[in-house]
Amino acid sequence: MKILWSVMAVFVLIVVCFFSTLYILKKKRAKEIKITSANGVDYGEFVAIGGIQQYLHHRGEDVQNPVLLFLHGGPGSPMLPFAQEFQVPWENKVTVVHWEQRNCGKTYYKNDPKQVTPTTTIDQVIQDTYEVVEHLKAKYGKDKIIIMGHSWGSVLGSLFTLKYPHMVLGYIGVGQVVNMFRNENVSFERALEYIKELGNQKDYQALTALGPYPGTIYNDEMKNKMAKFRKLQVKYKLAAGPTAELVWNVFCSPFYTLRDTRYLLSAGVVETGQAAINNYLIQTFDLAAIGRQYETPVFYIHGEDDWQTPYPLAQDYFSTIEAPIKQFYSIPNAGHVTMLDQKEKFNEALFEIIDMI
**48 within 8 A of 125, measured Cβ to Cβ:** no
CATH class of the structural domain 63-179+242-356:
alpha beta
β-strand pairing of 95-100 with 67-71: parallel
- The pLDDT value recorded for residue 227 is 86
- pLDDT of 205 > 70? The answer is yes
Q: How confident is the model at residue 47 (pLDDT cuts 50, 70, 90)?
A: very high
CA of residue 173 relative to chain centroid, distance: 11
- The pLDDT value recorded for residue 352 is 98
Q: In sequence order, what are the beta bridge partners of 101?
A: none
Taking residue 118's Cβ as centre, other Cβ atoms within 10 Å add up to 9
| Greatest mean pLDDT range, 134-148, 175-189, 197-211, 246-260 | 134-148
Cα–Cα distance measured from residue 150 to residue 154, given in angstroms and rounded to the nearest whole number = 5
Q: What is the DSSP letter of 50?
A: T
Q: Over the stretch 209-260, which tens digit does the pLDDT of each residue have? A: 988 888 878 888 888 888 899 888 888 888 887 777 777 788 889 999 888 8
- The pLDDT value recorded for residue 23 is 67
- The pLDDT value recorded for residue 2 is 61
- The pLDDT value recorded for residue 116 is 95
Can you tell me whether residue 127 is helix, strand or coil?
helix
- pLDDT of 114 > 70? The answer is yes
- The pLDDT value recorded for residue 138 is 98
The region of weakest confidence among 9-13, 39-43, 295-299, 331-335 is 9-13
**Long-range CB contacts (< 8 A, 24+ apart) of 344-351?**
346/86, 346/301, 347/89, 347/90, 349/299, 349/301, 350/90, 350/172, 350/301, 351/93
Q: What sign for the dihedral angle of Cα 118, 123, 128, 129?
A: positive
- pLDDT of 11 > 70? The answer is no
Torsion angle of the four alpha carbons 227, 71, 114, 134, in this order, in degrees rounded to the nearest 10: -160
Taking residue 312's Cβ as centre, other Cβ atoms within 10 Å add up to 14
- pLDDT of 10 > 70? The answer is no
Can you tell me whether residue 293 is helix, strand or coil?
strand
Mean pLDDT score of the chain: 90
- The pLDDT value recorded for residue 212 is 87
- The pLDDT value recorded for residue 56 is 98
Q: How far apart are the first and last CA of the chain?
A: 70
The full DSSP string for 78-92 is --GGGGGGTSGGGGG
Average pLDDT, integer, range 187-191: 92
Cα–Cα distance measured from residue 344 to residue 123, given in angstroms and rounded to the nearest whole number = 36
The full DSSP string for 134-145 is HHHHHHHT-S-E
Torsion angle of the four alpha carbons 19, 24, 25, 28, in this order, in degrees rounded to the nearest 10: 160
Rounded to 5 degrees, what are φ and ψ at 265? -100, 0
Supply the pTM of this predicted model. 0.92
**70 within 8 A of 150, measured Cβ to Cβ:** yes
Pick 55 or 282 by higher pLDDT.
55
Spans of all domains in the chain: 1-32, 63-179+242-356, 182-235
- The pLDDT value recorded for residue 302 is 96
- The pLDDT value recorded for residue 268 is 65
Q: Which residues contact 144 (CB under 8 A, 6 or more apart)?
A: 137, 166, 167, 168, 169
- The pLDDT value recorded for residue 220 is 83
